Amino acid sequence: MAWTAPTLWVAAKVSVRKARKLPLDGDVVVDRGEWVRPEDPVARATEAGHPISINLWQELDLKDPGEVARYLVKAPGDSVQVGDVIARKSGRFGTGKRDYLSPIDGVFSSGPTSWGEILLTPNPRLIELQAHLPGKIVNTMPNRGVIIEAVGACVQCVACFGGDTRGTLKTICGSPSESLEPHQLDESCDGAVLVGSSVGIESLRAALLLGVRAIIVGSITAATYRWLLDNPQPVTLLVTEGFGSMPMARHTFDILAANEGREASVLAPVHTAWGASPAEVFVPADEDVEEGNEDGVAFGKGATVRILRGELAGTWATIDEVLRASRKLGSGVQSPVVTVDAEDKKGIIIGRSNVELVG
Amino acid sequence: MQQPEIGSILAIDIGTSRTKAALFDVVEGQHRFVARSEVLTTLYFPVEDVSAGVKQVIARIEEICGRSLMGPEGPMLPQRKNGSGVDFFVTTTSLGGRLRLLLASPTKALASLQQTRAILDARGVESEVVVLSELPSASETRYAAVVGTLKRFRPHAIFVLGEADQNSSLQNLAQDLVASVHHREAESVPVYFIGTSEASESFQKLVGSKFDFYATGAPDDSNPSTAVRLENEVASLWQQCIVEEIPGYSLIASWQGTPVEHTSFAWGNSLRFISKHLQTEVIGIDIGASSISIPYAANGAGEMRLGLTSGIGQNAINVLDDAAQIRRRLPFEATDDEIENAVLNKWARPWTVPETFGEMLFESALSAASAARLRGETNAYSSYFHASSGLGLVVGAGALIANQSSPGIMALTLLDALEPVGAFEIAIDKDSLLAQLGAVARHYPQAAAEALLTDALQYLGTCIACAGNGRAGSKAVTIQIKRGAEKPRKIEVPYGEISAIPLASEETAEVVVKPSGGFDCGWGKGKSGKLAAKGGRLGLIIDARGRPVAPPSPNGKGHERIRRWLDSVGHSMEHTEAR
């Protein structure tokens, strides 16, 4: 029986099948067999607004909650928009004047209660799910979404911050070990998906101002990770190797560089209760000729792997042998192992859990 | 000879990182451990189906034993005359998110609320309490508050607590719940009423057919069976809401006729048996990728602290802010950035194992930081063993400890994570059998007991661990050790140090323990005592490092101190160069 292994696919041309799913039940608007472009909607849903309660007694600083009704400008059933005056306390001689403005677009649903509270219900939100990559609808999931088949270059990433996006692939750095510096970014980066080894906080700030859609790097540091958590940005950041100062793998960099100027689809991870599928960068091929598929290479002799731990972490290697017996690693941990050839070294013994299939 | 209650047993444990299988069979009239194997759990990309990993791990056992276990429809049950198949198949799992339960209580002070929360906390359930008396009095805003909570918290079930005299607030709640489902603002989830039968009946009438309704008595300290019944309800909800949703699990469920058990509770079950059999107090720690469990057992009864946000894999992220806690346990220089990058890499690829000795020490420090956080958060029971009542037992489990080949590193990892005090033996669940045998014991206790007592535990030795503080290098404890016919030997262990004295597995030694004034080795502060120390792979361990272990040390002396500890347990310092 074949071993399954953790996999992050990196391929110049591959046939992929991607599920595109609504977060809640809705309508699928395409049919099986149809061809779609990235911007085509494939499913739609309406998300009901969650009512919010506002205490106007406190907001208007009134003496008695029973006074709220007197100051209402809007009535239950009225529609409201952000900034509309819902209640106004005029005050005397210009003092104590206070307006309460609607924080939402929606409906003044009910109130005031004896405690001076009103309910506002936001308008239902229309969710439109785009195909996001060009391809053929090979299956539909009733009320939920579709599966799209497409052929192109595919780079799966270990981490992703931000959502789905698309943009023109732009390789600013000359090599996979060069980091993206703020001075390298200019107006030409507007709408682009940038490629580099690493990115710091200053470059992320600059990218945001310039309208960059996404940045693909080999690694980011913990400091950048923390900044991303504190500053949710519209720039999607994808990490191909890991955290720290690992350069992007040469093969990954070359694939992305070869597609310079083409539109790339960035697919954020799809989260489930059990984990998430990896984030991906997909660049559609001109010709619909596949050279492999995602199920492609088995974990065995000749397979290309990324070494994940130890002194060679980040290095790509080729499996020489998957050993049946366990061995003691340098850490003292007894583990099943593989022997790999990496760079100019042959027969390196690595824990089997410490390699990841890449293609 | 008594006929065995069952023949061969195949037990599977599906963890978040690894799926393990163990085969037990009758050897010379007793159940013995025959073979084990483990593979990576196949829940994640690219397979996303746990049954694939289970098939792989059983195939490995078949290969090791040269015996066919699987048929086209799953494991062949019962065992065939030609030796293929097994008589019993059982699974445990620690997979899945946390069960979310909404507790609705008329008042904050309701006694059953505190007891119910304690039961849920012990099972690692994420709970949120809605106190009905604190909800707005106006019906619309009250409804908005109830719906808001249901939408945000998305409970798997609602536990309603109440008594007959709290009818009005319970009536309001029932109306709000029914309206929320009617208006499609919330999903219908099972409602459990915990309280008197009179209140339960009136609540059931109000929620009508909109909810699956279950009634149970309130947990009552004077009647332990009520708590057990509630625990069983929670276990059953976990099965329905969490386990049955695991991709590929339905296939495994179709192979077995018994419900799956949570790994941690099955593990705790084994420790309860051990405590009863050995007539001793037992504290365990199982350090997993996405959870840490700390069960305690004495006289066959037990408690559990389960941290489903702890662990050294997916949950390593939760100690990202604890870089200082990790660094003070390392024997080499590491910046905050280096530590945090390593934590993030472990979070991103939780299934990886330490490749170098430095990485091993990092993961050991990560375990200690995560366990310390859990012990702090859950107010875990004391890890103090009263030496006057005999040797206690500390049991360690989890891949990091079980797969380690050095007994010294195993012992240090365990002592640092649990920080026990007193006199106790240390054992390791070396082949990760305890959880599986804990699940077997529910059905075939005799078979589980035989295998457990013979094969499950690997003893590292006896530890005398001191609590207390002193000046670095000042004498903390004096040990007089007498082995067989040898002359007694006296050893002084200074404060801040650990010492290991070889004592083979089959050996015992008479030990007299004399702590200095400020130190307590299980007999009380400054009090001396005697014990019969049992040997093991490491021997007799004297841990005079104080508690907490490894407090912050200025000017880099902490590194030297930790290197000395490693030396003391058999690891020379040059290993630590391999960062």
Residue B356 has pLDDT above 60, yes or no: yes
Kindly list the residues from chain A whose CB atom is less than 8 angstroms away from the CB atom of residue B406.
332
Contact of B505 with chain A, judged by CB distance below 8 Å, is answered with no
Is residue B488 located within the same domain as residue B431?
yes
Q: Are residues B428 and B546 in the same domain?
A: yes
Q: Of B43, B338, B355, which has the smallest distance from its Cβ to A275's Cβ? A: B43
Residue B557 has pLDDT above 80, yes or no: no
Same-domain status, B339 and B459: yes
**Average confidence (pLDDT) over B422-433:** 95
* pLDDT range class, residue B2, cuts 50, 70, 90: low
- Residue that finishes a domain, picked among B47, B65, B93: B93
| Same domain flag for B222 and B89 | no
Q: Which of B302, B95, B64, B178 is nearest to A326 (CA)?
A: B64
Ranking A143-157, B162-176, B265-279 by mean pLDDT, the lowest is: B162-176
- Residue B245 near chain A (CB below 8 Å): yes
Cα angle B387, B389, B393; round to 5: 70
Based on the domain organization, do B512 and B565 belong to the same domain? yes
The H or E element that residue B406 is part of is none
Residue numbers of B between 435 and 494 with CB closer than 8 Å to A: none
Is B249 inside any structural domain? Answer: no
B515's tokens? 């702590």
Residue B380 — very low, low, confident or very high, per pLDDT cuts 50/70/90? Answer: low
User: Whole-angstrom Cα distance, residue B259 to residue A11?
Assistant: 43
Gap between the Cα atoms of B558 and B327, Å rounded: 9
| Interface confidence (ipTM) of the complex | 0.85
Q: What pTM was estimated for this model as a whole?
A: 0.86
Range in A268-272, B13-17, B141-145, B164-168 the model is least confident about: B164-168
Q: Which two tokens stand for residue A40?
A: 């085509």
Q: Do residues B428 and B374 share a domain?
A: yes
Q: For residue B555, what pLDDT is reported? A: 60
Is position B254 within any domain? no
Question: Is residue B531 very low, low, confident or very high in pLDDT (cuts 50, 70, 90)?
Answer: very high
- With CB atoms and an 8 Å threshold, state whether B359 touches A51: no
> Average pLDDT over chain B, rounded to whole?
89
pLDDT value of position B344: 97
Give me the helix-helix angle, B407-418 and B557-568, nearest 10°.
Answer: 130
CB atoms within 10 A of CB B563: 18
Antiparallel, parallel or unpaired: β B157-162 and B30-40: unpaired
Mean pLDDT of A239-246: 95
B387: domain range? 264-577
**B348 and B452 in a common domain:** yes
Q: Calculate how close chain A gets to B160, using CA atoms only, in Å.
A: 24
Distance CA B40, CA B73 (A): 23
| Residue B201 belongs to some domain of the structure | yes
Helix (H) or strand (E) holding B177: helix B167-182
**The pair of three-digit structure tokens given for residue A91, joined into one six-digit string:** 């005050």
Establish if B58 belongs to a structural domain: yes
Tell me how far apart the alpha carbons of residues B293 and B263 are, in angstroms, rounded to a whole number. Answer: 10
Considering only CB atoms, A243 lies closest to which of B345, B405, B409, namely B345
CB burial class (10 A; 0-12, 13-18, 19+) of residue B554?
exposed
Same domain for B511 and B531, yes or no, is: yes
pLDDT digits (tens, 9 = 90+) for A35-58: 999 999 999 999 877 778 788 988
Shortest Cα distance from A355 to chain B (angstroms)?
A: 8
Is residue B140 pLDDT above 80, yes or no? no
**How many domains does the structure of chain B reveal?**
3
Q: Which two tokens stand for residue B575?
A: 């290993």
pLDDT at B510 over 80: yes
CATH superfamily of A10-46+128-284: Phosphohistidine domain (3.50.30.10)
Report the distance separating Cα B100 and Cα B157, nearest Å: 7
Give a yes or no: residue B3 inside a domain.
Answer: no
* Residue that terminates a domain, selected from B41, B74, B93: B93
Domain ranges of chain A: 10-46+128-284, 52-122, 304-357
- Would residue B257 count as lying in a domain? no
A10-46+128-284 and A52-122 in the same fold? no
Structure tokens at B58: 């059983």
Residue of A nearest to B45 (CA): A277
Looking at chain B from residue 364 to 383, which residues have their Cβ under 8 Å from any Cβ of chain A?
A: none
pLDDT digits (tens, 9 = 90+) for B476-506: 999 999 998 889 999 999 999 999 999 999 8
pLDDT top residue among A248 and A293: A248
CB count in 10 Å sphere of residue A295: 11
Distance CA B212, CA B214 (A): 7
CATH ID of A52-122, from 2.40.50, 3.40.109, 3.30.420, 1.10.3470: 2.40.50
SS3 assignment, position B26: strand
Q: Are A351 and A335 in contact (CB under 8 A)?
A: yes
- A109: closest CA of chain B, how far (Å): 10
Measured CA to CA, the distance from residue A99 to residue A71 in angstroms comes to 9
Q: Which string of b and e fits B238-273 if b means at least 16 CB within 10 Å?
A: bbebbbeebbbbeebbebbeeebbbbbbbbbbbbbb
Q: Are A299 and A353 in contact, with CB atoms under 8 Å apart?
A: no
Residue of B nearest to A295 (CA): B46
Kindly state whether residue B246 falls inside one of the protein's structural domains: no
**What is the assigned CATH class of domain A304-357?**
mainly beta
What pLDDT does residue B577 have?
A: 45
B340 close to A (CB below 8 A): yes
Q: Looking at the structure, tell me whether residues B450 and B515 fall in a common domain.
A: yes
> Confidence band (pLDDT; 50, 70, 90) for A282?
very high
Contact A310 B56 (CB under 8 A): no
Q: Do B282 and B217 fall into the same domain?
A: no
The domain boundary, picked from B45, B64, B93, lies at B93
How far apart CA A172 and CA A199 sit, in angstroms, is 12
> Which chain A residues are Cβ-neighbours of B46 within 8 angstroms?
4, 7, 9, 294-295
Which residue, A353, A357, A356, A299, is CA-closest to A327? A353
Region A90-105: mean pLDDT is 82
Determine whether B101 is exposed, middle or buried from the number of CB atoms within 10 Å of its CB (0-12, 13-18, 19+).
buried
User: For position B195, which CATH number holds?
Assistant: 3.40.50.10090
Name the residue among A159, A275, A353 with its Cβ closest to that of B44. A275
For residue B394, is it within any domain? yes
Whether residue B359 sits in one domain with residue B446: yes
Please determine, for residue B303, whether its predicted confidence score (pLDDT) is greater than 80.
Answer: yes
Asked whether residue B454 falls in the same domain as residue B336, the answer is yes
In sequence order, what are the residues at sequence separation of 6 or more whose Cβ sits closer than 8 angstroms to the Cβ of residue A271?
none
Long-range contacts of B209-213 (CB under 8 A, 24+ apart): B210/B177, B210/B178, B210/B181, B210/B182, B211/B158, B211/B177, B211/B181, B212/B188
Which CATH number belongs to the domain containing residue B78 in this structure? Answer: 3.30.420.40
